[in-house]
Amino acid sequence: MSLWEYANPKKFMQASGLVLPWVTGLATLLLIIGLIWGFFFTPEAVNFGSSVKIIYLHVPAALMAINAWLMMLVASLIWLVRRHHVSALAARAAAPVGVTMTLIALVTGAIWGQPMWGTWWAWDPRLTSFLILFLFYLGYIALWQAIEDPDTAADLTSILCLVGSVFAILSRYAVNFWNQGLHQGASLSLDKETNVADVYYLPLLVCIAGFVLLFLSLVLLRTRTEIRARRLQALLARERAA
């Protein structure tokens, strides 16, 4: 069986209908466990005090903000190359989820930055590239809304997605590229020296898994809605033509 079979809307609706309740249930469970573990059962950090608990929201949200755009990039490329409507609709469905993740990362970062850095905002490479990514998300959503013909909208938003991918990658590696600004390096790393301590690491992994599954669950739900909305438009157009 080929993966491309799921580009068929009917097949996608069948498969996603089976998977969605399990993904949603697991996402809810992991988020509840991870956030309770992180909030109630982790100690204060020597240098950050209890503000370290914000990591359980900030890091997974920032990770998903970038990964959501990369998922949209893959879906957009599939649309541009193979013209599968489901992939264009999946990219459209992911954008509001991605923008919410970006907003969570920006808001929790600002709330954390105020007591730690003494400012809500700084024009730091990572913060700035994240703000630009947020604006790209808003532009992407607005472009889908602004164009009536769905195929033209899919084409133009796919191009916008390709351009925005530069900032998605930049926001991930901004700290490494410029090596300046307030934002510290990655909290998660394969290098034991730079990784967060185990006591924070395990609940953080659970929260990240929860956010990944939440993203997947919402994208499946929203893609299903977009497919139904497309069918609704087609049926109404047929009615009008008759």
Taking CB under 8 A as the criterion, the residue among 75, 95, 214, 216 binding other proteins is 214
Amino acid at 53: K
Amino acid at 237: A
Rounded Cα–Cα distance for residues 158 and 155 (Å): 5
Interaction between residue 49 and other proteins (CB under 8 A): yes
Mark the segment that binds other proteins (CB under 8 A) among 48-56, 78-86, 140-148, 196-204. Answer: 48-56
> CB of 120: closest distance to other proteins in angstroms?
11
Taking CB under 8 A as the criterion, the residue among 37, 96, 147, 155 binding other proteins is 96
**Maximum separation of any 2 CA atoms in the chain, in Å:** 72
For residue 61, give the nearest of 130, 163, 144 by alpha carbon: 130
Phi, psi of 29, deg, nearest 5: -60, -50
Using only C-alpha atoms, the chain has a radius of gyration, in whole angstroms, of 20
Interaction between residue 236 and other proteins (CB under 8 A): yes
Site residues (vs other proteins, CB under 8 A):
35, 39-40, 44, 48-51, 53-54, 57-58, 61, 96-97, 100, 103-104, 107-108, 111-112, 114-115, 214, 218, 221-222, 224-225, 228-229, 231-232, 235-236, 238-239
